[in-house]
Amino acid sequence: MNMKRKITPFVSLLLALQLSISVLVFSGCTPSQNNSTETSPTTQFENESDTSAPETQPDTLPQTDADTEKETESEPQTEPETEVQTEADTQPEDEIVERNIEERYFIFRIWNFNERGLNTFKSIVDTAQQAGFTAIKIHIPWDRVEKTDGVYEYTAFDDMVDYVVAEKGMKVAISLDMSRRAGDSLIPEEDIQRDREGNLCVGGAYYARTAFSFCSEYAVAKATAFYTDAVKHFDSLYGEEILFYLPAFSQYCETEYWCAGEYDYSEKAVTAFRSWLAQSYSTIEDFNRATGRSYASFDEIIPPSCTASDSLGVLWYQFRHQKLKAMIDTLATAQKEACPNTKITIQLGCVFDSVAATRCTLGFVDLCERVDVLWLDDGPAYDHAWSMDYVRSMLPAHIALAQEIDGPLQANASVENYLDQGLTAFEREATYVSIANWDINDYYYRYEDTWKQIASTWLCQDPPAVLKVTQDSPVLEVSLYDMFRMKSPDGFISKYHSLAQDGQSVRIKVIDDLTGRTADSTSLSYTFPSGFSAEQGTNGWYYMNHRRGKFTEMTYDAEKRWWQGAAAFNLIMADGTVHPDTYDTALVFEVPADGTVQYYFLLSLISDQSDGVRVAVMRNDERIYPADSSFASVAPASTLEETLTITVQKGDRIALIVNQGSTHANDSSKLSVFVDYQ
């Protein structure tokens, strides 16, 4: 990610002081804790980050940072035009969330994928406490507790919890990881999630693990039994010393679908999806009319990509959302019935990034209906002020907020980014902040002053005032359907910062027009880059060269996953990157039916080293934008956004043309296009 961040004045001051911070910080504002005098040996434990390589690009093109694991988060694009409200009276007072924070916690997360000695565990806890951490999040894998069907063994984890609580006087959070080792016989293969090609959902940063299908009654029952037993066990021993219990489903220990691929296409999930559609539509004819399909029966329907944003893509998202929510609600209900005074937390990798649709976390408010804490796992360079305002504006007051700072192998990891994340999270009403994937080694000690500064600033007797969302805060509306189609929050973030003057809070009104949206409203909607294909004409899109009024087709390069034009840097890429050369680059849409379309496009020129690009839109041979038949200019590191209303006939072609201007150097641009029938 390379998202622009706006740092508040308070955070800016502390950033400036970072390099001079030492252990003496604690002399003026000391967290309440029982500091150990032991010297911790250097220890190693696994790192969660699963690094994925960036797409190959020409050497002269701007390079984007490689996004790591939870990063499968690619660089965001920009959102469509959204209504911005600034009048205070547009927001009823009863919708303002007043969140009460009685005590904050800074948490060190310790993984237990593989068995470790108790002495190693103790040394990690000792080192963490010395830096100002006040709680330990202990990871408990299901397959280490229930090795034999119906037999639960907690001894190793009891020793860990007992050390933290009884000897160190710290609180504990319990993360119950319900992924299991590949080949484990407890959950049969028919009950494991699969991708679109039928491959089992197997992977992870530590060893090969599987994610069970939410559509498997057997797997859901087994997972619920383990989760309930674990909560009852630890609650009976430690009660209020346990801050919360966190169920995790994915190989990245998050409460979502695994974002390293597209899931769940297991036979049980596909069958359940077809049954769900049959219940939603009276007949297959009704379904076909609503979605523009021509199936003979519901049994013929094949679920689309998790990123497809046409009518069937919306239905597939809704189905997956309902299954994820049902799983969360099932565990929450079981926990509250067994141990009413305990808290349940869900951890979501992200609720707005480029793979949130794959995670199925866009409808985060609905997912949180029965939980007590929402945990976010922002990438290091995410816009943390936006992130916190985005979730806290819409969640009920009883739901606490949390942020996790990921390990040093993440893209954009830096002292500045991590300090900003921790300080901003607490500043904007986080109750919990944790760090994860940090070995006690040179990487850890490089950031140790950062942890001390976060702890000494907020976990003290007189912490700064939080920055609340109030009746006077400006209001920004965000459409989940637009977020789903665009796969990016960047346009919304731009509008957010136009309202967040001097770092003030913004109330973000999240409009859930996605999880309950009907197919009728999306049956004739086409988007790029979500509709990108390796074949000309698929989803209505053609990839063309343009020169002196003539269009010719580009050639697809399967290895690089881009369309190659007549010149070396004449390109259209799967992530929406376009690049002109001596030939113009043209994205062409062929109109499928008569009518009137709203044609929206947004083009962001990435580099400030470019000399600018130029843009035009044509319908067949007619130049319709700009109105004077010239080109519209896009300055370096800027964005052009337009909405055109066009009367069309079936077979018309609408071409968006990107011209290099004077030279093609550094002309990589991000392009998004919506075509919606009115």
pLDDT in tens, 553-602: 999 999 999 999 999 999 999 989 999 999 999 999 999 888 899 899 99
| Residue whose structure tokens are 């969660």 | 48
Instruction: Identify the pLDDT of residue 585.
Output: 97
Distance, in Å, from the CA atom of 212 to the CA atom of 331, rounded to the nearest integer, reads 15
Contact 468, 75 (CB under 8 A): no
Instruction: Identify the pLDDT of residue 13.
Output: 44
Q: Which domains does the chain have, with CATH numbers?
A: 47-290+301-511 (3.20.20.80), 525-677 (2.60.120.1240)
Instruction: Identify the pLDDT of residue 519.
Output: 53
Distance, in Å, from the CA atom of 663 to the CA atom of 625, rounded to the nearest integer, reads 22
In this structure, the number of other CB atoms found within 10 A of the CB of residue 94 comes to 5
Instruction: Identify the pLDDT of residue 447.
Output: 96
Q: How far is CA 175 from the centre of its chain?
A: 20
Instruction: Identify the pLDDT of residue 289.
Output: 84
Distance, in Å, from the CA atom of 368 to the CA atom of 255, rounded to the nearest integer, reads 11
| Alpha helices by DSSP H, 432-529 | 442-446, 448-458, 480-486, 490-499
Enter the pTM of the model: 0.77
What's the average pLDDT block by block, 10 residues per block, for the chain (678 residues)? 41 44 38 37 34 34 35 37 39 64 95 92 97 98 96 97 98 98 94 97 92 98 98 97 98 96 98 96 90 91 91 93 98 98 97 94 97 96 96 95 94 94 97 96 95 97 94 93 86 90 92 77 69 89 94 94 94 94 96 89 92 95 88 93 93 96 92 86
Instruction: Identify the pLDDT of residue 95.
Output: 65
Burial class from Cβ neighbours inside 10 Å (0-12, 13-18, 19+) for residue 162 reads middle
Distance, in Å, from the CA atom of 166 to the CA atom of 246, rounded to the nearest integer, reads 22
Q: Which residues pair with 344 in a beta bridge?
A: 245
Q: Tell me the pairing of strands 171-177 and 135-141.
A: parallel
Instruction: Identify the pLDDT of residue 564.
Output: 96
pLDDT in tens, 91-125: 344 467 878 888 999 999 999 998 889 999 999 99
Contact 192, 218 (CB under 8 A): no
Max Cα distance, the chain (Å): 78
Instruction: Identify the pLDDT of residue 404.
Output: 97
Contact 262, 195 (CB under 8 A): yes
Distance, in Å, from the CA atom of 63 to the CA atom of 40, rounded to the nearest integer, reads 40
**Encoded amino acid at 628, one letter:** D
> What separation, in Å, do the N-terminal and C-terminal C-alpha atoms of the chain show?
34
Q: With the C-alpha atoms ordered 269, 270, 272, 276, is the resulting torsion angle positive or negative? A: positive
CA dihedral 287, 293, 295, 297 (to 10 degrees): -10
Output DSSP code: residue 166: I
Distance, in Å, from the CA atom of 441 to the CA atom of 446, rounded to the nearest integer, reads 9
Burial 120-137 (b: 16+ CB within 10 A, else e): ebbbbbbbbbbbbbbbbb
Contact 542, 533 (CB under 8 A): no
Instruction: Identify the pLDDT of residue 144.
Output: 96
In this structure, the number of other CB atoms found within 10 A of the CB of residue 288 comes to 14
Contact 491, 80 (CB under 8 A): yes
